[in-house]
Chains A and B, each alone.
Chain A
């Protein structure tokens, strides 16, 4: 399959889901965007740019909005970050660009960088203009990219701009990895992820979908191509290893989220318990609320201070009505035909009972969100892996095997879309440099 098919047309269309997952951060209109753009100080060596993993020149794109040069603004964004539209919606900007904005120390109101970025990108999409970059002259070189998530896509864009063929292989039917299947719909709708990738594919990126690469195929690809990029993300969600986990009504956060985003699931039962307290757990819990659950609990083995979710995600979940049960560990999933309850053991004394005491939450659905595993099988001995992460040279993405490069969640332990894009971009440049050097010395 090549990039000819419209990805956007393949997106599911569920008006009800769309309505339930309306924009968390609504777009700016022009009347709001321009004064906000004018508020930016145009800092030198801007801290927002420094904090952005892809180093988007934030003041530059913002001032172009102010001057009415919207196409130039979008080009500035895309030049640094080929998934600029997705990132504008998905990035945890509170800890990135907006967190670094000098305005925190001026009047406590950071520039709304993400919404401005979305404004510029939306204008580009609305204008119908093509991607403002062209593929480089053909070099005859070619690279296989495993996975079609943000890391591989960003890598592919750099390769194509340098005239190197980019062939992407993904197990899923559509591109984007977790950008398409994982990010909460009220931040980044699946169709918007696809729209952006559709545009990127104008560079002549070649996709092979529904193709799960195993060790043998990988060896073949290594042989056929001049280099291989690994952008395989993290693996499935860990299991708890407790009784009742095989019951119908036990699922994991990734399946639940991918399910509702791809339109396979449109409702959940009334009572839902989510186990874990990372960002993924929060996304699953909020999704359950939006999908119609009336009582959603998050059970976590430690307290709010140790929670790995961002503070603003925690706040968001509370506003959505999610309840938290701290210092508890699931010990059994109860039920006959399907799930009826979750047995929890208190790990610390509370007003309701002492440490070690047990209690039961009556639930119809248990969602596991206790961290993702890694894909060790595929790589068996090929490249160096430490604590489940592929080891790379951070500036170039090169692994212990010089022909293999890697980036994204599989190298950084699971961060954000923008980190995957930054990794992929560095690797794309790294691969081109390595191949160039190899050609020169040949």
Chain B
């Protein structure tokens, strides 16, 4: 109810089922360079409070906030009667919809629930069908990412009659080991267990799965996007890949319900800027822009270009291209001619031999220390465009926004994809004996 007061449109209730006991501790996280909880992990199961209490509270919430959507997340043992019973009770309590938790990767799965269901398309289809026999409200199936191809359970849920899908649940994880005790986190009396990973770190994985589901006609259903969403930009990206709604868990646990204010405000401002009146104006708009690799234009050519006026001279692009890409960035701006033979080791050796002293105004008449406002020319790297493969690495490591841009080279070649090359017999298609999932 505090979430609704803060501005959230709806809530998916913590999964309800036959009460279990949760352990302490339950959470652990990955920090990154001083920022907390870049990735979050839990070994919490479903609600440890009774079905009765949960449903009483749900009824109370619905009574006080009739306009807000309340979805009951459910997980019970894989028996038709049990599912029918819980569906009935949740709907009687006033739930606006049901979310079937086929995703929880720990604890429940060992008892044949959660991801144990989500990982077997037949079970997924079966339970969805049972629920649909009883349900009067929309049924959402929540998918587990702990599977090779998310489309398998998605298609099964669709066959079972699901009204909608949500993805993703958490990803199997061990967040870390304590280097003093050699115990894993989160620590429960010296032991840990694999948990479910979420938070900002999982967003790319979630986006990929969302795209796979939305682009697959046999899977596609209304989709609620989940996984690492923390702000309006994240939300917009999920919607662009086809989601109709989004859900947030970790970011709220981190910063509280109040984050919804900017999610709303920022999204509306962006929509106004782009001329979108509603979510439907841009939902799924990016789906066609993600294709199979063999549909990419092989004749598209770009190269890195360094904007010298912006370069601060950190030379991260240089070391990245030498050690991580194609050795085509050079420090030869002040050499008489382009020099592609000077290696990073030679640069470092020269620097080590250089003698520098503290500039003292009295002793160093004239140049009293060089100004640090401009990058010295010898520190600005140069891209050898003939050898640049256009991989982006340098532009990704460059700390300065817009300093390295990737520029298109007009090579006069007509677009051509791998698929077209294969079709034209230029490249062999390759033997493919395994069953195609398409």
Q: Tell me, in angstroms, the Cα distance from A50 to B372 when the chains sit together.
A: 13
Q: Tell me, in angstroms, the Cα distance from A104 to B374 when the chains sit together.
A: 9
B361 close to A308 (CB less than 8 A): yes
B352 within 8 A of partner (CB): yes
Which one, B315, B358, B374, contacts A96 given CB within 8 A? Answer: B358
With a cutoff of 8 Å between Cβ atoms, the chain B residues found around residue A283 in the complex are none
Please judge, given known A-B contacts A44-B318, A44-B319, A102-B314, whether A415 and B375 are in contact too, CB under 8 Å: no
B351 close to A104 (CB less than 8 A): no
User: Chain A nearest CB: distance from B379 CB in Å?
Assistant: 7
What 1/0 mask marks residues of chain A from 50 to 62 whose CB sits below 8 Å from any chain B CB?
1111010000000
Please report which residues of chain B, range 345-360, place their CB below 8 angstroms from some CB of chain A when the two chains form the complex.
347-348, 351-360
A269 within 8 A of partner (CB): no
A66 close to B316 (CB less than 8 A): no
User: Chain B nearest CB: distance from A195 CB in Å?
Assistant: 24
User: Chain B nearest CB: distance from A210 CB in Å?
Assistant: 31
A41 close to B314 (CB less than 8 A): yes
Which one, A43, A412, A422, contacts B316 given CB within 8 A? Answer: A43
B298 within 8 A of partner (CB): no
Q: Tell me, in angstroms, the Cα distance from A196 to B385 when the chains sit together.
A: 51
What 1/0 mask marks residues of chain B from 189 to 210 whose CB sits below 8 Å from any chain A CB?
0000000000000000000000
B313 close to A105 (CB less than 8 A): yes
B259 within 8 A of partner (CB): no
With a cutoff of 8 Å between Cβ atoms, the chain B residues found around residue A34 in the complex are 34
A433 within 8 A of partner (CB): no
A35 within 8 A of partner (CB): yes
A105 close to B373 (CB less than 8 A): yes
With a cutoff of 8 Å between Cβ atoms, the chain B residues found around residue A416 in the complex are 358, 360
B369 close to A99 (CB less than 8 A): yes
B328 within 8 A of partner (CB): no
Please judge, given known A-B contacts A44-B315, A100-B372, A105-B372, whether A38 and B362 are in contact too, CB under 8 Å: no
B5 within 8 A of partner (CB): no
With a cutoff of 8 Å between Cβ atoms, the chain B residues found around residue A50 in the complex are 351, 354, 356
B34 close to A35 (CB less than 8 A): yes
What 1/0 mask marks residues of chain B from 358 to 381 whose CB sits below 8 Å from any chain A CB?
111111000001001111000100
A132 within 8 A of partner (CB): no
A38 close to B354 (CB less than 8 A): no
Please judge, given known A-B contacts A35-B34, A44-B315, A106-B399, whether A99 and B354 are in contact too, CB under 8 Å: no
Please report which residues of chain A, range 23-39, place their CB below 8 angstroms from some CB of chain B when the two chains form the complex.
34-35, 38
| A96 to chain B: closest residue by CB | B358
Q: Tell me, in angstroms, the Cα distance from A290 to B314 when the chains sit together.
A: 41
Which one, A99, A104, A395, contacts B355 given CB within 8 A? Answer: A395
Please judge, given known A-B contacts A95-B359, A418-B358, whether A47 and B379 are in contact too, CB under 8 Å: yes
With a cutoff of 8 Å between Cβ atoms, the chain B residues found around residue A310 in the complex are 361
User: Chain B nearest CB: distance from A149 CB in Å?
Assistant: 16
| A66 to chain B: closest residue by CB | B33
User: Chain A nearest CB: distance from B351 CB in Å?
Assistant: 5
With a cutoff of 8 Å between Cβ atoms, the chain A residues found around residue B374 in the complex are 105
What 1/0 mask marks residues of chain B from 60 to 89 whose CB sits below 8 Å from any chain A CB?
000000000000000000000000000000
B316 close to A44 (CB less than 8 A): yes
A419 within 8 A of partner (CB): yes
B312 close to A105 (CB less than 8 A): yes
Please report which residues of chain A, range 306-341, place their CB below 8 angstroms from some CB of chain B when the two chains form the complex.
307-308, 310
Which one, B344, B347, B357, contacts A53 given CB within 8 A? Answer: B357
Q: Tell me, in angstroms, the Cα distance from A43 to B312 when the chains sit together.
A: 10
Q: Tell me, in angstroms, the Cα distance from A103 to B312 when the chains sit together.
A: 8
With a cutoff of 8 Å between Cβ atoms, the chain B residues found around residue A214 in the complex are none
With a cutoff of 8 Å between Cβ atoms, the chain B residues found around residue A44 in the complex are 314-316, 318-319, 344, 347
Please report which residues of chain B, range 393-418, place their CB below 8 angstroms from some CB of chain A when the two chains form the complex.
399-400
Given contacts A35-B34, A105-B372, 16 further A-B contacts (CB under 8 A): A44-B344, A45-B315, A45-B331, A47-B313, A50-B354, A51-B356, A53-B355, A53-B357, A95-B358, A102-B313, A102-B314, A103-B312, A105-B373, A106-B400, A395-B355, A415-B360
Residues of chain A having any CB pair with chain B under 8 Å? 34-35, 38, 41-45, 47, 49-53, 55, 66, 91-92, 95-96, 99-106, 278, 307-308, 310, 394-395, 412-416, 418-419, 422, 426
Residues of chain B having any CB pair with chain A under 8 Å? 33-34, 312-316, 318-319, 331, 344, 347-348, 351-363, 369, 372-375, 379, 399-400
Q: List 9 A-B contacts (CB under 8 A).
A: A35-B34, A43-B313, A43-B315, A51-B356, A55-B351, A278-B362, A308-B360, A413-B363, A415-B358
